[in-house]
Amino acid sequence: MKGKPILLALVLLALFTTARAQLDCAANNLIPGDTIIICADTTFRLQLPNGNGLVTYVWGNGETADFIDIHQTGKYYITATDANCSIEDSVYVLFNSLILIPDVRNELLCLNVPATPLRASGLDLKWYDSPTTSVSSPNAPIPSTADTGVFNYYVSQTILGCESPRAKLVIEVIDKPNFNLGENVVIPCGAVGVMLQTVQQKYTTYAWQDGSARPDFTATEAGSYVLKGENKCGSLIDTVTTVTCNTKCVNFPTAFTPNGDGRNEIFRAGAFCPITKFTLLVYDRFGKKVFETRDPARGWDGKINGKRAEEGTYVYLCVYDDFMLKRELTLKGSVTLLR
């Protein structure tokens, strides 16, 4: 393992037999095979039969032991001599430092949608939950999708007994689009428009009613604006209405005709949005109150104390909480009663 060199005792005695006290002069080699592949970050001991003192060894670097510790890739030479003959041999030792990491692909998963086991391409895979832990599993983990976020997994492959570095596999869990453009928005007086926007979510595309593909939009006039967000986990459509600074929820007619023909009989507020607080007062030309209500659905029928009021001009005062402009407004005006 990296950082902890391991002394690998490749006991070639098992290949030649330790009992051999003298050289086999008819043999063509001392070391079976021309190449030995060793895992990187290790120390390799190439061991020959000790010969019981009857065989002498000389390595290419001048060492005379019956073994040599090898730390790097290269070709190593040995000459063995006994009373009968001398044999020369060589071997190429390759430290396998070029083991490629497994082929992995990052994945994008959806919140609370069950996932499948992670995938990687390689031989003898080992899965880890961190880049440094020594605990591994041959079984690919199944990532949790209970929470959004980024989660890392690590996997290696083993070739010819050598384990590769660990490849990092990134799993990201996302939610479907989630935004709210808010309630009605007021375009300030004197402004060219108002910015409608949402916090942009990764991997999400946006489309406004005109086809523009940004998470924000400048509304320059009163109207309805629609935004659609979409990603692999789902989609969401939200609508917001903009109004100009002088738009009011409540309007009043300038005249009404309580004459029994069934048309325009009642003087009442014309409201096109919710009203939570409302007071309407009507006065005659002398300042006497002739009608009062706190219900925007009620209106004045043109009668005072059950009697028909005179034709003429009357003054009204209305105080209400404007849903569009988000503030209390006071409306004053006049209305003409006609028979």
For residues 81, 49, 35, 37, the Cα torsion angle rounded to the nearest 10 degrees is: -150
Q: Which residues contact 160 (CB under 8 A, 6 or more apart)?
A: 37, 96
Tell me which of 48, 68, 96 is where a domain ends: 96
Residue 15, pLDDT score: 36
At residue 3, the pLDDT reads 35
Closest CA to 93 of 14, 199, 12: 12
Residues whose CB falls within 8 Å of the CB of residue 287, separated by 6 or more in sequence, listed in order: none
The per-residue pLDDT for 225 is 94
Question: Are residues 122 and 161 located together in one domain of the fold?
Answer: yes
Total domains in the chain come to 4
Together in a domain, 168 and 213: no
CA distance linking residue 282 with residue 334, whole number of Å: 9
CA 183 – CA 14 distance, rounded (Å): 84
For the whole model, what pTM was predicted? 0.57
247 closest CA partner among 223, 280, 276, 225: 223
How far is the C-alpha of 91 from the C-alpha of 233, rounded, in Å? 59
- The answer to the question of residue 69 being in a domain is yes
Residue 147's domain comprises 103-174
pLDDT the model gives residue 289: 96
- Are 11 and 40 part of one and the same domain? yes
DSSP 14: H
C-alpha distance across the termini of the chain, in Å: 104
Q: And the tokens for 148?
A: 């959004």
Q: Which residues pair with 307 in a beta bridge?
A: 304
Does a structural domain hold residue 179? no
pLDDT in tens, the chain (339 residues): 333 333 333 333 333 333 344 788 887 788 888 888 888 777 788 988 877 778 999 999 999 999 999 988 899 999 999 988 999 999 998 887 677 899 999 999 999 999 999 999 999 999 999 999 999 999 999 999 999 999 999 999 998 788 889 999 999 999 999 999 987 787 877 788 899 999 999 999 999 999 999 999 999 988 899 999 999 999 999 999 887 776 777 889 999 999 988 889 999 998 777 788 999 999 999 999 999 999 998 999 999 999 999 999 999 999 998 876 778 889 999 999 998
Q: Which long-range contacts (CB under 8 A, 24 or more apart) does 260-266 make?
A: 265/301, 265/302, 266/299, 266/300, 266/301
Q: Are residues 286 and 213 in the same domain?
A: no
Tell me: do 163 and 209 sit in the same domain: no
Please tell me whether residues 226 and 263 are part of one structural domain.
no
Domain termination residue (choose one: 96, 120, 137): 96
| Residue 180 domain flag | no
- The whole-number pLDDT of residue 8 equals 36
Same domain, 267 and 332: yes
Domain boundary among 244, 259, 278: 244
CATH of the domain at 323: 2.60.40
CA distance 69 to 42: 10
**Residue 27 forms part of a structural domain:** yes
CATH number of the domain within which 117 lies:
2.60.40.10
| 1 inside domain | no
Of 46, 20, 44, 22, nearest in space to 32 by CA: 46
Q: How far apart are CA 106 and CA 173, in angstroms?
A: 11
pLDDT at 288: 95
